[in-house]
């Protein structure tokens, strides 16, 4: 049996009539760059997140970067985030000229440890970016309390957390603003690159709209130096069509996660993911932890089980961030996770038969 890590064709086949109609509508109207289809999705996605504004952009990386620019983050500033994330979180900080300050994560949720955050704030701290990892929100209560006490804005990196909740509040609705990615494999994925910023702050939304369109307040009138980071019309239409299904898809992911946890409970050496109290985890990724991860992954692949690793090298140990001068051992939980994480096949259409096959293969190879 072959179990794919992700099956985007299965999702397309389940709603192909809606997606084909959405693309055809854009083609017939020729509204390709920004325009009414993007505006419609922005309205719908803001409502979904429980926010007043959403601004569609070209990618999740654009969303992080432009939000920081809108906040005035610049040379000499510090922005605190975690090492246990995709490098885009740190790249957005660096592209503003600021310095990423990397902190370690909680050993259960793998998201920002509030105690480590508090120890890392300095007079140069201009923003905090907690990362909602794998579909679970960071511990936003204490993070927001620390941020408010120091007068520092919080930007949620919600690129993996579409529809996730913390204490009944949706990802994106707690910080000053939030960045989302719609990379094809995400819980809400485009058919190409796309992203969005959500916020309740009308001034932030206005600034990002200007920055994403070459700094234009109106056509050919450039208030600031901006960039081309617009969402295209086809992606806006596709995302509107998919947004109608995300609640069902997230519930299927949660169901699949419960099944995996049932099947894998008690397997020697396997640490299962946890859902923190008060959280609604949407399982963008179902990552177990296991020693000897690389050899296990090889054996699973030989049996037709396709897994992935998120992320094999934490940011502070990447050559690109040698300048931070953080040595191995400085962020021990992030480093342990990088050595032990193994992401299992996870997508809404994954069958119980597929999960049983994956789990049986893990049991065989972990004994």
Distance separating the N- and C-terminal Cα atoms of the chain: 21
Fold match between domain 8-101+112-243 and domain 246-366? no
**Any idea which fold 246-366 has?**
3.90.1150
CA distance 195 to 62: 7
Tokens at 256, concatenated: 């699949």
* Confidence (pLDDT) at 367: 72
CA distance 229 to 203: 18
Domain coordinates of the chain in residue numbers?
A: 8-101+112-243, 246-366
CA distance 232 to 31: 8
Sign of CA dihedral 305, 271, 140, 127: negative
Q: Of 111, 118, 131, 121, which is closest to residue 77 (Cα–Cα)?
A: 121
Beta-strand relationship, 221-222 and 216-218: antiparallel
What are the per-10-residue average pLDDT scores of the chain (367 residues)?
A: 97 98 97 95 98 98 98 97 98 98 98 98 98 98 98 98 98 98 98 98 98 95 96 98 98 98 97 98 98 97 98 98 97 98 98 98 92
Single pTM value for the model: 0.98
Query: Does residue 288 contact residue 342 with C-beta atoms inside 8 Å?
Result: yes
CATH 3.40.640.10 fits 8-101+112-243, yes or no: yes
């Amino acid at each position: 049996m072959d179990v794919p890590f992700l099956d985007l064709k299965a999702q397309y086949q389940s709603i192909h009539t809606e997606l084909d109609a959405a693309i055809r509508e854009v083609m017939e109207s020729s509204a390709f760059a920004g325009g009414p289809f993007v505006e419609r999705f922005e309205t719908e996605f803001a409502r979904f997140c429980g926010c007043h504004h959403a601004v569609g952009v070209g990618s999740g990386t654009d969303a992080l970067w432009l939000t920081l620019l809108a906040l005035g983050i610049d040379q000499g500033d510090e922005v605190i985030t975690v090492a246990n994330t995709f490098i885009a979180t740190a790249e957005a900080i660096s592209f503003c000229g600021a310095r990423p300050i990397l902190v370690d994560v909680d050993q259960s949720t793998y998201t920002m440890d509030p105690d480590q955050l508090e120890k890392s704030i300095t007079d140069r701290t201009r923003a905090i970016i907690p990362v909602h990892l794998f579909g679970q929100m960071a511990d936003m209560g204490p993070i927001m309390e620390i941020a408010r006490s120091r007068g520092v804005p919080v930007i949620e990196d919600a690129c993996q957390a579409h529809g996730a909740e913390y204490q009944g509040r949706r990802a994106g609705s707690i910080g000053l603003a939030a960045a989302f990615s719609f990379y094809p494999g995400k819980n809400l994925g485009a058919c190409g690159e796309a992203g969005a910023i959500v916020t309740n702050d009308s001034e932030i939304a206005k600034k990002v709209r200007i920055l994403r369109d070459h700094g234009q307040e109106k056509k050919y009138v450039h208030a600031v130096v901006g960039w081309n980071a617009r969402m295209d019309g086809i992606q806006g239409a596709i995302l509107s069509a998919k947004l109608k299904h995300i609640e069902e898809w997230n519930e299927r992911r949660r169901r699949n996660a419960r099944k995996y946890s049932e099947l894998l409970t008690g397997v020697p050496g396997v640490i299962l993911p946890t859902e923190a109290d008060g959280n609604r985890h949407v399982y963008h990724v179902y990552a177990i932890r296991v020693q000897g991860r690389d050899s296990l992954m090889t054996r699973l692949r030989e049996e037709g089980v396709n897994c992935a690793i998120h992320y094999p090298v934490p940011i502070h140990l990447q050559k690109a961030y040698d300048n931070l001068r953080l040595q191995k051992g400085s962020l021990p939980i992030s480093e342990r996770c990088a050595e032990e994480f193994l992401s299992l096949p996870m997508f809404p259409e994954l069958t119980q038969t597929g999960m049983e096959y994956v789990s049986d293969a893990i049991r065989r190879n972990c004994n």
